[in-house]
Structure 1
Amino acid sequence: MSLTRSAWRRFKRNPAAITGAVIVLCFVAVAVCAPVLTPYEPASVEWADEVTLDSGPEPNSAHLLGLDRFGSDLWTQMVYGARTSLVLGLVSTVIGLTVGAVLGAMSGGFATVGGRWGRRVDNILMRLVDIMLSVPSLLVAISIAAVLGANSWSVILAVGAAQVPFFARLLRGSMLGQSGEDYVVAAHALGLRKRQIVVGHILPNSVGPTIVQATLSLATAIIEVASLSFLGLGESDPAVAEWGRMLVAAQDRFDVAPQLALYPGIAIAVTALGFTLLGETMREALDPRSRR
């Protein structure tokens, strides 16, 4: 049985994998179909006169989850918040994966090719990555977002930059591990150039763990996007619904309307759990050592 078929067989038999896949598919479906799932706009405040300081907004047939403190439909905020989290988390992860993969491939390639200059380049790149790793990723994201200002692109760049060192380290380590495999020794014996071996053989066989890590990083990205919004460093436009900003708006009404904070908090936790379960089970399924 091939590695791919064996991995799929293990994946679909794992309850955690099915649970994670269902959560992720539901999250993506809600984000994509947001305009279909609600007739309202996320920034609409036409029901502001129905919200009082002494009573929380009650759910009804017109508003499934009730109203927030500004008189906006809470279900609409939740649905469009899923879309915002998906877009920002996905784009930031792609940026982090791309930049980190380039750095990791360069470092691993120079280290594999060898030579004095190759080892020097690898050492310089990895020291830069170590400096980035020495600072907590959320602190890196907060610093970048604070410098660039409160908008969606600053969040994307901040979260993406925080993920770069993890992808770089992972791809470099995977390439160094592959450099000692039998097929690399056979390629050397056939007289192939080192550059051709690295680009044509080692690199393609090393990207698998990095792609799987991207699924796990999506969970971290969604949490960090919500964290930046909670700290006031997210999108400043009130028309853009964000789960983190919903948590901020719910603080002064938690005693009368706790659902204003519970719903977005649960959404963040469940979504992150789904991507974590999916990524972990994918890594286990693709691990050749787990084949039976």
Structure 2
Amino acid sequence: MTSADLLEAWGNHLRDGRRRSHHTVRAYLAAADRLLSAVRIEGWEQAADIDGQTIRRQLALRRSQGLSNASAARELSALKGFVAFARSQTGRDAVAPRLRGPRIKKGLPRPVTPDEAVNLAEMVGGSASDDWIGARDRAVLILMYGAGLRIAEALSLTGADLPLGETLRVTGKGGKQRVVPLIPIVRASVEDYLSRCPWPVTKTVPVFRGAKGGPLGQGMVQKAMARARIALGLPATATPHALRHSFATHLLGAGADLRSLQELLGHASLGSTQIYTRVDAATLLDTYRSAHPRGR
């Protein structure tokens, strides 16, 4: 069995078995490919015999090439996952070598204000080359901010999800499903786009379409928002994903409890949601410093 065969099976497992995103699959395959090239593995038995010392040497090589802590942690996760999968293919327990990754200091998400979120959506909608494209981009951003969706989740909507009701069932990371409420402005934005879209939206095709009728890519949304961000003088942290952070921060500030927020965001653990308590506290502190006569 060649390295290409091993990588193909690993990639299929990530895509179909683990439902990993395209970007994750690509990164994990690249990490496994580098390891296989370094140790010259020819089958599952040899791959299953890869130990912690071998992985540690591979990571040391990658760190010498300038790999950051965050990238090294992802590479380690990929290699441990690959070895665990290899062991499962030989009938062994799917257990990876026990290695501790580098410490990663998590920065606080940078939300935008409610007014900034709306202004970004309106700027994107008004600056597009065609009315229907402007309505499309506006609808995507309003959907992300109004329902807290990841960009991939928003773009995965198909005609089967239409017409939009008061709630939407979303499939997030790891195939985890959740139900999110849709406020009127979200439904109205999507309906406005659909009324202008020149492409038919059937049950099996994506709701959001590119200029030539294909699925809308994340890059197009990111570019549209970058142009709007610059026009409005907002910082580089005002990305599409910041709209999801804003959704969470604003709900928490309005009194939402962490468990409810966890469900709405589709987080697997409450720990991922708790970071927003720090965001809200940081926002409060910024407000205090700017408003209090002795705050500066």
Q: TM-score range by the shorter chain?
A: under 0.3
Q: Which has the higher contact order (CA 8 A, sep 6+)?
A: 1
Structure having the larger proportion of residues in helix: 1
TM-score (norm 2): 0.24
